[in-house]
Amino acid sequence: MDRRKEKDRRKKKRTAFNIVSGAVLIAAVCVFVFALYQLVITLVPYYSGGMEYDNIKDIAVTADEDGSGFSVDFDALLRENRDTVAWIRFDQPEIISYPVVKSADNKEYLTKTFSANDNRLGAIFMDMNNSSDFSDRNTIIYGHHMNVGGEMFSQLLEYESESFCKENPNFYIYTPDGKVRTYTIFAAGVVKDMAENYTIDFASDEDYETYLQTCRESSNYQVDVELNAQSKVVTLSTCTNVRDDERFIVQGVLTAED
């Protein structure tokens, strides 16, 4: 009788263990499936958005293998999106090569791509208060800092390094009128989202020269580039992904126009 009771006790114990083990396994599988689902829904927008911009480059950009002979078909871009105002390109980081759009609302292209698809990559866009022809003293262009993939303006943060800036001092802006503008970087660093660097309108030459000095002082390093009241600046802005009220900016001054 005692042996039978002991046998039954062991059987119940094994059954309870199997039930608990099965429940733990099911829970683990559920956690894995949920984590996989979260990963997929996170990565798919990056992939689809990246593919979209690759297709746009294939349609609108012509360049030699070494990057020379770069040209943009603005007719093709304007057929796709009438908000097109420019194309921006860096030699390095070469991933920054995108159409630039402008709308009446700065929020529009935060989650809408160049081809009007809902996607967290958004688009590279000019501030709604700027003139589309880059005639303002300070033209602001925004782009997201993506945690995955490095698309959009993520790679601007390479300019935290002074040595990187020395090796890659310029970026280029192409416009529908056929002009190619070369901008030489004179400042790069972290600023508050409401910093003076984002000023567009200036009451006088003196105010503007004070602004330029402020931009130099906010930079991680100093660059020997001439700035004066006639200078035309482009400010490139992205998030730091560290603090909500901080931005990383790269500022370039117009040094050539072809």
Give the domain extent around 232: 52-257
Q: Is residue 27 part of a domain?
A: no
Q: pTM to 2 decimals? A: 0.84
Q: Is residue 148 part of a domain?
A: yes
User: Is the pLDDT higher at 140 or at 35?
Assistant: 140
Q: Give the CATH number for residue 226.
A: 2.40.260.10
Confidence grade of residue 1 (pLDDT, cut at 50, 70, 90) = low
68-117: per-residue pLDDT in tens?
789 999 999 999 999 999 999 999 999 999 999 999 999 999 999 999 99
Confidence grade of residue 23 (pLDDT, cut at 50, 70, 90) = low
Taking residues 38-64, what's their average pLDDT?
73
**Residue 151 main-chain phi, psi, to 5 deg:** -75, 175
Q: Give me the active site residues, please.
A: 144, 239
Q: Is residue 40 part of a domain?
A: no
Q: Is residue 197 part of a domain?
A: yes
Q: Is residue 22 part of a domain?
A: no
Q: Is there a contact between 103 and 198 (Cβ–Cβ < 8 Å)?
A: no
Q: Is residue 33 part of a domain?
A: no
Q: Is 249 helix (H, G, I), strand (E, B) or coil?
A: strand
Integer CA distances (angstroms), 84 to 76, 140, 179, in order: 10, 15, 15
pLDDT at 4: 61
Overall domain count for the chain:
1
168-213: per-residue pLDDT in tens?
999 999 999 999 999 999 999 999 999 999 999 999 999 999 999 9
Amino acid letter at 114? F
Q: Is residue 158 part of a domain?
A: yes
User: Is the pLDDT higher at 9 or at 109?
Assistant: 109
Confidence grade of residue 65 (pLDDT, cut at 50, 70, 90) = confident
130-155: per-residue pLDDT in tens?
999 999 999 999 999 988 778 999 99
Q: Is there a contact between 52 and 117 (Cβ–Cβ < 8 Å)?
A: yes
Q: Is residue 196 part of a domain?
A: yes
Taking residues 216-227, what's their average pLDDT?
97
CA distance 1 to 197: 89
| Burial of 236 from C-beta contacts in 10 A (0-12 / 13-18 / 19+) | buried
CA distance 189 to 225: 17
